[in-house]
Amino acid sequence: MRLRRWLMIVLVGMLLVGITGFVSPHLRRYELSRRLDSLVLQATAPGGSGAVDIGQIDQFGWDRLYVFTPYTPHTTVDEALGFAWAKVHELDIERRDDINLLVFTQGRSVASYLELPRNRLDFAHISDDHLFTRLSAQFQARTESGSQVLLLTPVGP
């Protein structure tokens, strides 16, 4: 009887660890999306400066942000990151025009990523290196006439 109870406790523990491992990255991306929305709403509110400082996102550790625009080849993503990232093949950004891919890294690993729908928020004038540090992840939000989509343009060089 004790053995059966012990096995049940071990199995429930393993199940919880498995669920946590699966759910945690999804929750992180959801929170990341909410935080970015909050920064954009503050910047674009009446009287707001339009400045969006993505460096303020601090729910997890990161030191670099890469912004990949539609149709970016997988090899370009891997080269920019400096390592092969298997997830980029699942996301298939090189065949998609509906998202921008934001990849947050800490050292040589991906801390989190966000598929950002372009019908909600788009990026303009992103350079070929795609790289922003916490300090340089500064953007200006604006809309173009006749469009509902907010454009984020990098500030600075």
pLDDT on residue 121? 85
Quick one: pLDDT band at residue 157, thresholds 50, 70, 90?
low
User: 19-60, pLDDT tens digit by residue?
Assistant: 444 446 677 788 888 898 888 888 888 888 889 999 998 878
What is the rounded average pLDDT for all residues in the chain? Answer: 83
Q: How far apart are CA 119 and CA 72, in angstroms?
A: 18
Q: Where are the beta strands (DSSP E) in the chain?
A: 51-53, 64-68, 99-106, 109-117, 121-123, 131-133, 138-143, 150-154
How far apart (Å, rounded) are the C-alpha atoms in residues 130 and 96? 17
Distance between CA atoms of residues 28 and 83, nearest Å: 22
Residue 88 parent element (H or E): helix 87-91
In this prediction, residues 59-86 reach a mean pLDDT of 93
Q: pLDDT-derived band of residue 11, with 50, 70 and 90 as boundaries?
A: low
- The pLDDT, as a whole number, for residue 59 is 79
